[in-house]
Structure 1
Amino acid sequence: MGLGNDFEKVRSVKIVYVITRSDVIGGASVHLLDLALGSSKAGHSVDVLVGGEGVFNTRARDLGLSCHSLKYLVREISPGKDIRAFFELRAMLSKLKPDLVHVHSSKAGILGRLAAKSLGLPAVFTAHGWAFTEGVSEKRRFVYRNIERVMARFSDQILTVSEFDRQLALKAKVGDEETVLTIHNGMPEVGSNRVSFTQSDQIRLIMVARFEVPKNQKFLLEALAKVETKNWELELVGDGPTLESARKLAAQLGIAEKVVFSGACDDVPIRLSRSDVFILISDWEGLPLTILEAMRSGLAVIASNVGGVSELVANGDNGFVVDRGDQQGLVDALTQLIKSAELRKKQGISGQYRYRTNFTFDIMLDKILKIYQKVLDRTK
């Protein structure tokens, strides 16, 4: 029997999930929606609070989740709005009367924990990558490291999505060994996880990511321009503020006809199933859900060796990890996988096995529901 069923057997509880942004669907958003839906299906009462009204709200309601928009919760630092957001959150929590509050993302993580603790409610925080991680400016790291040290005192449990992030927190004195725990992200199964290994001369590369920091599509384009073999085509899925500059760069590099900019798409599993190699080039990460999606689809992966990426991708086994800024390393990895259908297939099969044995949604949900139970038991 799974831990989720065990928890339901003890008692059904009321959980409120909080996240900052509604205007985009990123990894943290997908994680929260999957988790909220899973908790609901396990028999618990679930409400979701999010800043603003956007695509996130629509997705949540399409899933049958109770989703409430917060007027003043915004991503940017705004003292006036942040104070209003705290009282808005506090009022909503007072109205909903949850047994436990689970907050996600930096701003919601801070204000949500403060509001929860002001009402005597247990608070769990998931860090989807720390704002003081490697690759972030030293000034920003200093500020957020000290903020999170203080906020750890308002946390009944801190969850990191990678062991890399857990060790980063402990080194920064954010929480302690008992407060900070790693629960790797997990992805639900989809209708078909089979990738069609083609013998086409054109190798289909795909990167799925917003065009904004920390994603670095430009670095990928520059590396591809240096790959000697030209039998590849690249699909870039996503939108965002750096999209147009990436288009211009592709033209300047003379590879525009080989790059497809697909924009934001809601059929990513289908696009992955039509691809041969998945790529994620980032300056920093937590534990990227897009890599798990690619592994689920049986794709070999090339990714930056940042955050918890190496906990997903074993270098040379189910893909290649490349040090941040190592353009020649990226060129070499691309060249190997573009040239060898056998290597692509071998690494793809290995990645799919790693996904099914370590990173399914059910594994993650069971662990998180067990954490909820422990937190509630401690705070009775």
Structure 2
Amino acid sequence: MMRMIQILPELDIGGVERHVIDLSNELAERGHDILVISNGGQMQRQLSGKVLHRSLPVHKKNPFTAWSCSGKISSWIRKEGWELIHAHSRVPAWIAWRTSSKANVPWIYTAHACYSLNYGLIPLKHAKFVISVSETVRDHIKDYLPEKHIIIPAALPEPTVKWDPQNRGKNRFIFVGRLTKIKGLSTVIEALGKLKNENWTLDVLGDGPEREELEKRSVVLGLNDKITFHGYSEEADSFMSRSSCLLFPSHSEGYGLVLARAAQIGLPVIASNIPTVLKMAGSKEGLVDPGDSKGWQSAIVDFLYSGRSVVIPVFNIHTLKSMVDSSESIYFDLICK
């Protein structure tokens, strides 16, 4: 049994949160002691009862706050015997680096996205190990990587629902993700604005800083009776299984957990032509340039009239077991050898 700390900014909405929750829950099932430190959030209740959570403002980009958090975590390590820190995101990396030197425990880092290449990534060179969730992420941050680094693709548990092909004819589109500019939903809404007389609906699952603007734009385009903003939902799998097609218009992705989930469920997709998606799909056929509203309009029309979509081979999707096995091996090497 090992005793490990996972640090991430918040447990609100997003792929990093999903990754840490699934990793922590599975590690706890395997008998390890896991402490998750974050500022909390809507997804916190998805942590297993076997996982300990403590709230600290580890999301704040304030050096004095980070210093204080490091002091508290160092105290917990000395008093409770925690053996390793696993940081996710940049502010937690700075906190983990400082805490590691104070408490004399190793720390590692998982890079989940293509971050801005600046001083915020400096701690990575001082980590004992850096994990990238995809080749795209690894290649992007290559100048900041320490000697020991590896790619461990993000993964999800097996879904409990599957898509019914009879749903294809419903023309019920779905978008799942945080509502930020990089996710590209505005492009889809502009494309759908040209198709308001067609028979379709769109369910938007997610929240974020762009939600109000996106809702207003939908009204301006006369789409408020066709697009429903549900906010964050823990029923995303169920929504997917009842939908006709996932719209995945991201401008950039570290891995693309939502796309992977659609593949697991069997849901058809229309997706952006970005490196992560291309790697997962195995071909650029049917992919749409991000930000190209005319291209998205054309792809959506093709789906409405011919059912044409992108096929993501499920064998390209990694299992949660393989992800946790690989992470557990790194922990063991750093703690027990």
Confirm or deny that 1:217 pairs with 2:185: yes
Name the counterpart of 1:185.
154
Q: 261, 267, 270: which is aligned to 1:299?
A: 267
The amino acid that maps onto 2:291 is G
Change (3 A) 1:111 1:369: same
Instruction: State the shift of 1:201 in Å.
Output: 4.8
Confirm or deny that 1:107 pairs with 2:91: yes
1:269-311 deviations in whole A, cap 9, x for unaligned? 1000001111122232211211111111111222333452322
d(CA) in 1 for partners of 2:225, 2:96: 47
d(CA) in 2 for partners of 1:79, 1:199: 51
Name the counterpart of 1:147.
120
Name the counterpart of 2:21.
33
TM-score scaled by structure 1? 0.81
Confirm or deny that 1:366 pairs with 2:334: no
Change (3 A) 1:29 1:200: closer
Q: How many residue pairs align between the two structures? A: 337
Give the alignment's Cα RMSD to 1 decimal.
2.3
> Tell me, which stretches of 5 or more residues in structure 1 are unaligned?
1-11, 133-140
Q: 274, 287, 293: which is aligned to 1:321?
A: 287
Name the counterpart of 1:4.
none
Confirm or deny that 1:69 pairs with 2:28: no
> Tell me, which stretches of 5 or more residues in structure 2 are unaligned?
none
d(CA) in 2 for partners of 1:228, 1:288: 28
Instruction: State the shift of 1:324 in Å.
Output: 2.6
Matches within 5 A, 1:1-380: 12-22=1-11, 24-51=12-39, 53-60=40-47, 62-70=48-56, 72-75=57-60, 77-132=61-116, 141=117, 144=118, 146-148=119-121, 150-170=122-142, 173-176=143-146, 178-192=147-161, 194-198=162-166, 201-227=169-195, 230-306=198-274, 308-315=276-283, 320-341=286-307, 343-344=308-309, 347=310, 350-351=311-312, 354-356=313-315, 358-376=317-335, 380=337
SS in 2 for 1:287: coil
SS in 1 for 2:153: coil
Change (3 A) 1:252 1:357: closer
d(CA) in 2 for partners of 1:25, 1:207: 14
Change (3 A) 1:122 1:267: same
SS in 2 for 1:64: coil
The amino acid that maps onto 1:84 is S
Name the counterpart of 1:136.
none
d(CA) in 2 for partners of 1:92, 1:333: 53
Change (3 A) 1:89 1:213: farther
1:342-378 deviations in whole A, cap 9, x for unaligned? x45xx5xx53xx334542211212222222233336x
d(CA) in 2 for partners of 1:224, 1:64: 45
SS in 2 for 1:20: coil
TM-score scaled by structure 2? 0.91
The amino acid that maps onto 2:306 is S
Change (3 A) 1:169 1:299: same
- Answer yes or no: is the 8 Å Cα contact 1:126–1:160 preserved in 2: yes
1:197-235 deviations in whole A, cap 9, x for unaligned? 126654111001122343232111001223487122111
Change (3 A) 1:91 1:56: farther
- Answer yes or no: is the 8 Å Cα contact 1:36–1:46 preserved in 2: yes
**Identity value in percent:** 24
d(CA) in 2 for partners of 1:238, 1:297: 19
